[in-house]
Copies of this chain bind each other. A is one copy, B any other.
Amino acid sequence: MNVDWDDLKAVLHVVRKGTLAAAATELGVNYTTVARRLARAERALGTVLFDRLADGYRPVEAALVVARHASEMETQSLAVIRGIAGRDARLSGKLTVTAPQLLVGPHLTEVIRTFSQTHPEVDLHLRASNDLADLSRREADLAIRISRTPGDALKGLRLSDQHSASFASPGWAEQIKNTPERTIDWVVYDALGTPPKGLDPRFQNNRVVMTCDDMTAMVGAAQAGLGVVRMPVFLGRATPGLVQVPVLPAQPYAEIWVVAHADVWASAKVAAFREVLVPYFKRNRAVFTS
């Protein structure tokens, strides 16, 4: 009575994805192989695990039992990878950093330049991304996030306060200055849907002209003169074609954090990167706050 651990992994992925093909893609093998691993697992456990349907493999209850434990095994295997990475004392090899796209251009490039001059042996990968890269799966070693929460198993350090303010094209700035009573168009986040709270009382007429789910796009819209956008002050100031407008006074915004999984926080490369990153943000605090 002995099961192949990798067969359990196959069961786990088929339970998760529902089809052989999807599971195979995740596992990086041919789906035929997945089918055969399932068959082997069923033989080893002496029980049927899936109903073979025309539209996929449907797990029977026993497969859910397997998947529950296999999932815990996966957690442990990820912990192995992090544990090894976290003990890595070399200042060489791969280091993956993830950061919001908009922070990269104006700021991180400079941090990265300094870092790679100091540590030329490190093979630095940057994932510019807004989705939270999964630090548990070690898709990135270190993340720079605009958020107050470091997350559960993660360790973090606050890099900087931030303020936001309202920015728009010079045309809008002119109009707002000259005729503050005219309607002001806003481009806002989907999640909000309305112009921000805390507007200066001089400006009474505000409406939303567009909502959007991506700040890069909103910056583009603002540059094109579509309306006013609330954004972090570092971004508005650094974006050509935008000027600050007094509609929304500067107000606190989400802080900037650097976070990593606790297991890899102390590793040499991650620590070395922090040693460049933290002083940079300390020096440039004025850029992020009003």
Residues of chain A having any CB pair with chain B under 8 Å: 1-6, 8-9, 28, 45-47, 61-62, 65-66, 68-70, 72-73, 76-77, 79-81, 83-84, 87-88, 93, 138
Task: Tell me the dominant secondary structure on chain A's binding face.
Answer: helix
B47 touches A84 (CB 8 A): yes
B77 touches A73 (CB 8 A): yes
The 8 tightest CB contacts between A and B, nearest first, are: A5-B5, A65-B83, A69-B76, A73-B73, A69-B80, A45-B84, A72-B76, A73-B76
A79 touches B83 (CB 8 A): no
A9 to chain B, nearest CB (A): 6
A8 interface neighbour in B47, B61, B66, B80, Cβ under 8 Å: B80
* Assembled-state Cα–Cα distance A87/B87 (Å): 41
CB neighbours (8 Å) of A47 from chain B are: 84, 87-88
* Assembled-state Cα–Cα distance A124/B79 (Å): 41
* Assembled-state Cα–Cα distance A212/B70 (Å): 46
A154 to chain B, nearest CB (A): 18
A65 touches B87 (CB 8 A): yes
CB neighbours (8 Å) of A5 from chain B are: 5-6, 8-9, 73, 77
B8 touches A6 (CB 8 A): no
B3 touches A6 (CB 8 A): no
* Assembled-state Cα–Cα distance A6/B9 (Å): 10
A146 to chain B, nearest CB (A): 26
CB neighbours (8 Å) of A80 from chain B are: 3, 8, 45, 65-66, 69-70
